[in-house]
Amino acid sequence: EGGLGGLDDVLKQHVRDKVRTALSDARTLMLQHNTSGCNNAPSQPQRPAQGGRKGGGDEALDAAVADDKSADYYHSRGYAHRKRGDFAAAVQDYTVAVRKDSSHFKAYFNRGFSFDKLGDYDSAVEDYTQAIKLDGTSAFAYYNRGISYDRKGDFQKAIDNFTKAAELEPRKADFYHNRGFSHRKLGKYRQAADDYTLALDLNPRHFKAYYNRAFARDKLGDYEGAVSDYSQAISLDGRNANAHHNRGSSLEKLNRNEEALADFARAIELDPHNASSYNSRGLVYDKLGSLEKACEDFSRALAIEPDNAVYCHNRGYCYRNLGEFAKAITDYSKAIEANPWNAAAFNNRGFAHRKLGKYDKAVSDYARSLELEPNNTKTLNNRAYSHAKLSHFEAAIQDYSRVLAVDPANSHAFHNRGISYDKIGKYQDAVADFTSAIALDATNANLLFNRGSALDSLGQFDAAISDYTRALELDTLVSSTGGKDHVRSP
C-alpha cells in the first residue's frame, strides 16, 4: 500500500512539469477492501489522532514556520515520518510545509494521505481538493480523494472522482476497480460488474477485480458467473480463504452441494477461526439431511462467536429437526436475547414449545413474532392451532380469519376455522368453511367427514350420509382417525 511516495524531494515546488513527472512515478494508494465472505464492508478505520491537525497554533509549529528551513525540508521530513507509520508527526511537518509555501502540491497531497490513514477523511478530502486546485491534471489526486469520499460513506462523490481519474489516465485498472466497489456499496451491482470487467481488460491478473466481480454476479443471480470468477481469483491466490468461502456459497445456490462442502472445508483449513465458514458448511449439511454434522458445525461457529444470534438460531433449528426441542428452545432463547427483533426466532421457539405441548408459551411466542411481522400467515396459523389446543376457539377463529384475509385460498385455514366453529356449536358456519375448503381440496377425506359431522349436528342427515359415504370412498380408514382435529399447517 502506498500513496504519492518515492518523490524526489529536491524538486522545486514551483516547477510544475517536474512535479507531474514525479506524479507519474508515484505509487497508487489503493482501497484495502475487506473481502470477508460474510462481512463485505471495508474494515473499520483507525480513529483520528488527537494531535497533528492542520492549522494548529502551538508554539513549536509557529517556530518551525519561522525558521529558515524550506518547505521541501519539512515535506521530506514529513514523508520520512509517514514511512515509519507516524502519520500524526507527518501531518505536523506537512502543515509547516504548506504554511511556508501554500502552493506546495506534494505537501497537500501527502498530508491528505496521512489524514486518510488517521481516519480523518474530511481533512483528507480538503487537502486533496487543495492539491487539485494546484494541479487539476493529477489523476491520483482525484483517485485518492475518491478513496477518502468512499471511506466517509459518500459513495456517489467517490464514483465521480474515480471517473475523473479514469478520464485523465484511462489505462489504470485500479481506477475502474475502486469505482466498481463504490457502485457495489450503492447496490448498483450491474455497474459494479461492468467496472470490474474494465479493470480486468487492463489487468487480467487483478485478483480483487475477479473477486469483487464474482460478488456482484452472485448478487445479480449469475451464480455460474460468480463461480467462474471466484475460480479465477483462486487461481491467482489459492490461499485466500474468503474466495473459497464465497465460491462455496455460490455453489450451494446452484445445488452443487458436495463442491460447496469442499470449498467450505478448504476455507476452514486456511482460516480455522472464521465462524462464518463453519456456519455455512453447517447449513449445507442441514440441507443434505446430515443433521448431526450440521449441529457440530453450528457448535464450532458458536465456540468462536458465542453471542452470534444467527448461529444460535441455526443450531436451534437443527435441534428442532432432530426432535430435540428442549435444546432448540435454549438456542432460540439465546438468539432472542442477542436479537429481540428476530421474528423467526420467536416463531421457531413457539413451534418447539408447541411440540412439547406447552401451548400457552407457544401462543406467547407467536404473539411476539406477529408484533414484528403482523401478516405472516404461517405464524397466524400456528398461533390459531395453539389457541385451539387450549380450547380458546374464539381466539383461534380470529387468527384463522386474519389468515384468510391475507390468503383467501388457504384450505388449512378454512378447515381449521370450520373445526373451531363446530367446537362452539356454530355448525352452519362450520359447514360453510368446510365447503370452501373442499372447493380448494376436493379429495381430502377429512374435510368431507368433518362437513358430514357438522351436517349431522344440524339434522341434515341425507347430506351428512352423502359426505360420509364420499369420505369412506376416499379413505376407508377416515372414521377411525379420530375425526375432527385441527390440521397442522405445513
Residues 259-278 pLDDT 10s: 999 999 999 999 999 999 99
Total-model pTM: 0.79
Confidence class for position 484, pLDDT limits 50, 70, 90: low
Q: Which is more confident, 352 or 27?
A: 352
pLDDT tens, residue by residue, 455-473: 999 999 999 999 999 999 9
- Provide the 10 A C-beta neighbour count for residue 191: 17
Nearest C-alpha neighbor of 191 from the set 177, 172, 203, 204: 177
Q: Is the pLDDT of residue 22 over 50?
A: no
Which of 284, 306, 328 is the last residue before a domain boundary?
A: 306
- Provide the 10 A C-beta neighbour count for residue 162: 30
- Please give the pLDDT value at position 23: 35
Query: Chain-centre distance of CA 34, in angstroms?
Result: 14
174 domain residue, yes or no: no
CA distance 216 to 193: 6
Work out the percent of the chain whose per-residue pLDDT is above 90: 83
The answer on 346 and 254 residing in a single domain is no
The answer on 22 and 130 residing in a single domain is yes
The answer on 156 and 7 residing in a single domain is yes
Which of 169, 190, 209 is the last residue before a domain boundary?
A: 169
92 domain residue, yes or no: yes
Query: Which is it for the CA torsion 411, 412, 416, 419, positive or negative?
Result: positive
The answer on 123 and 44 residing in a single domain is yes
Q: What is the mean pLDDT of residues 64-76?
A: 86
The answer on 380 and 314 residing in a single domain is no
Q: What is the mean pLDDT of residues 93-111?
A: 98
183 domain residue, yes or no: no
Confidence class for position 237, pLDDT limits 50, 70, 90: very high
Confidence class for position 309, pLDDT limits 50, 70, 90: very high
- Please give the pLDDT value at position 483: 54
Residue with cell 469520499: 149
Q: What is the mean pLDDT of residues 414-428?
A: 98
- Please give the pLDDT value at position 233: 99
The answer on 136 and 1 residing in a single domain is yes
Confidence class for position 291, pLDDT limits 50, 70, 90: very high
Residue with cell 456517489: 156
The answer on 21 and 134 residing in a single domain is yes
CA distance 175 to 138: 13
199 domain residue, yes or no: no
Q: For residue 32, what are the domain limits?
A: 1-169
Which CATH number goes with the domain that contains 72? 1.25.40.10
CA distance 9 to 3: 15
CA separation, residue 219 to residues 190, 309, 408, 466 (Å): 9, 24, 34, 56
Residue with cell 351436517: 455
- Please give the pLDDT value at position 14: 31
Q: Is the pLDDT of residue 117 over 80?
A: yes
Q: Which residues contact 432 (CB under 8 A, 6 or more apart)?
A: 418
- Please give the pLDDT value at position 475: 80
Q: What is the mean pLDDT of residues 174-186?
A: 99
- Please give the pLDDT value at position 51: 30
Confidence class for position 67, pLDDT limits 50, 70, 90: confident
Which of 287, 306, 325 is the last residue before a domain boundary?
A: 306
How many domains would you assign to the chain? 4
The answer on 381 and 366 residing in a single domain is no
Q: DSSP label at 53?
A: -
